[in-house]
Amino acid sequence: MDEEMAALDANATWELVAPPEDKKTIGCKWVYKVKHNADGFVSRYKARLVAKGYAQTYGINYEETYSPVAKMITIKTIIIMAATKGWSLHQMDVNNVFLHGDLQEEVYMEQPPDYVDQKHLNLVCRLKKALYNLKQTPRAWSDKISQYLVTSGFQTSNVDFSLNVKKTDHGIIIIVIYVDDLIITGYSDVDIFDLRKLLKQKFEMKDLGELRYFLGIEVI
DSSP label of 123: -
Residue 129 contacts residue 141 (beta carbons within 8 Å): no
0.85 exceeded by the pTM?
no
Quick: pLDDT tens for 123-152.
Answer: 999 988 877 777 777 777 778 888 888 998
Amino acid 60: pLDDT: 57
Q: What percent of the chain has pLDDT over 90?
A: 28
Amino acid 219: pLDDT: 86
31 to each of 10, 90, 94, 112, 176, how far by Cα in Å?
20, 29, 19, 12, 28
Task: Share the mean pLDDT of the chain.
Answer: 85
Mean pLDDT of all residues in 63-82: 81
Give the residue extent of every domain in the chain. Answer: 2-218
Residue 89 contacts residue 189 (beta carbons within 8 Å): no
Helix (H, G, I), strand (E, B) or coil at 111: coil
CA-based end-to-end distance of the chain: 35
